[in-house]
Structure formats: C-alpha cells, structure tokens
Structure 1
Amino acid sequence: MDKEKDQEVNWLEAQKIEISVDLLAAAKQQLQFLETVDRHRWLYQGPALERAVYRYNACWLPLLAKYSEAESLVSEGPLVPPLDCEWIWHCHRLNPVRFKSDCEQLYGRVVDNSGVVSSVNGNSKLKTKALWKNLYPEEPYDLDLNKDVSERSSEKHTKYDLVSAAKRQSAFYYQVSRSYVSNEVFLQEAVARYKGFLYLCIKKNSCAPTVDVDLIWHTHLLHP
C-alpha cells in the first residue's frame, strides 16, 4: 500500500513539471512532418540522402544563420526549409549536444529556429525561395537529383555524421504511424507520461522511454 501511495505522490509531483512548449500541438506537427517524409522514402538512403546532407550543410544552415542575424528580415515572415533540408535539420536537432557543438564551431552560436515554419505547414515559400536563389543561384530550392550540380568541397560542414543519423531516424515513423497515435487523448496521456519519465530521470538518472514517450521526447528536443 505504501508503494502504491508513493507512486501516486510521484506521479502527481511529475505532473507539476512546467514545459513552455505546447507539446501536444508540436507532436501533431511532428507526426505530420514524419508522414510527409515517409512519402519521400528516397530521403532515407542513397544519393538523395547524401545530396540532402550536402544541401543542409552548404545551403540551409548558412541561410538560417544569416537570416537569424538579420533583424530587418524578421518582419517579412518566417523561413520555410525545403523538405530534404528540413529532414536533415530534424535529425541533427535530435542530438542537441552535437547540434550545439556544430553550430558553435561553424557560426559561433546556436542557430535560432524561432523564425522557421515547417515545409509541411508553410503556406508561402516565396520569401525563402527568393533568399535561396539570391544566395545559391546554381542550386534549386527543391531537391532535383536530375540536375548536375558541382558540390563545393570547401563548404562548412558539421562533424556529426548526418547520413547515419538520418538512417537511424528513418525507422521511427513506423513506430508512431498507427492512426491512434495522433489521437488527442492518446497524445495528452503521452505528454503526462513524458512528465513522469522526466521525473524518473531526475531521480534515477537513466530511464528507457516507451514509444509514446519517445515521440514527446523527440518533440521537446526539437523545441528547446
């Protein structure tokens, strides 16, 4: 009985954890994004994945770094990354330690993502396409594997193995692709269980997440 009482107390304490991000809404968006990427499965391996990593390093991350420094551009609306670059960016940010170290080494700071909306939800890409074309006139905004483009070996690139990271993450959508996962009640309970997971991690230092908790954990990592 005392054990059950302790568990109840711990659960109630865990639910007091305050998280500034709307994890429910963000998890729904992540599921939508992962579903879209899964419909472009060529981004999981091979030439398309390698090209996406190159474009992320050579184009998207520098553009984002440049944009986040230019306060005059903020009022013009958010940036919308190409789907292939957003997929690599997604995988990179799921390892926040490596993302932080890569950004600090390349740009002297962690690149801010507050002025970015997902390619899945971005209604207008005109601003981003214009900025992209101005910076990279030889590289199309949308990934085109039929276009011969010479890669510049001198470009800055992350130390983190993004090809391997993307391959690892490619299996995750299968685990969360069931229709019930996007259900409002399921996600609300997943957020509550995630808080319980955080509480246990604080007390025990190490815990293994279940799939629903892992989904919310990924969501939180993407919105630091």
Structure 2
Amino acid sequence: MTVQQQSIERSWQAIDALDFSRIKAKLLHGQSAHWSLESLADAEAGYRRFLKLAAKYPDAPVVPGEQVDAFWHAHIVDTRRYASDCERIFGHVLHHDPYVGIDGPQDEVRLRGLAEASAQLGKREFGLKPTTAAYCAISGEERSMQSPAPTGAKAAYCAIAQGVVSPQ
C-alpha cells in the first residue's frame, strides 16, 4: 500500500469515527423538526461519503445534494468541532462555497456539471445508483418577505442535476 493510500485510509477511518449524535439531535429539535429519523440517517451517510470523496479527490470540487448540504451546514455551525474534525481528516478546513449555481444560467450549468462529476465519483467509489436531484433557490425578494420555508414561492433558479442514492 502506498503512502497516499495509507493517508486516504486513515482519513476514511477518521470520517467513519466522527460522532454526529449532537448534530442529529439539533436537527431533530425545534424548527428543524422537518427531518425524520430516516432522512437524517440518509443525510449522515451521504455526508460521510461526501467527506470521503473530498479526502480522496482533493482537487475535484465535490458537490453534495441539498439534504447532505444541510447536514454539512449543521456540522459547520459547530465551528470549533468542524475545524478540529477537518484538521484531523484533511489537514485543513474544508471550505464551503454556498454560492455555486446562483449567478444565472451559466452558473447553473456549472453546478450541474459539478454535480454530475460528483455523482460519477460516488458511483465509482461507492457503487451508488444515479438519481435526479434538484438544486433550487428562492429569490431574495421572496425570501425576505416570507418565513424560511415559504410555500408557493417561485424559485429564483432551479438546476436539475444527476445525484446518487445508495444501492438497494
């Protein structure tokens, strides 16, 4: 086994060892209670796969689906723990670009391309089946006029991208 393979294996073991019990408790609490135990388990498993892809392919921009992205956000909010976990896994903080895909049609195309490339990595590494996932955003005007999850709001943009699901 090469030094690089050993490093990736150590990173993946560190990812498997992460304890997300507090994050899951937070997501199930209060206003975030729209999560079910099943959707939370799916998001956690997807987040671990996302971290593993980011560890193995540091030069590839890996794009998570919306559910995994929400779980990532919950990890990021615990700033000290997130920084510590990232340092242990990657040797640096894994930064998040929350603006991918929001700058019009060309950026949506870029998001779809990144999502497709991420799906292909997931398929190759984990044998995941492709599925369709939507990445949508509410326009700033509608967001400011309504609560966090407005019903009937029109999306400022919507990008459909290939995603992945676990093998059945």
TM-score (norm. length: structure 1): 0.36
Larger RCO, structures 1/2 (Cα 8 Å, 6+ apart): 1
More strand per residue: 2
More helix per residue: 1
TM-score (norm. length: structure 2): 0.46
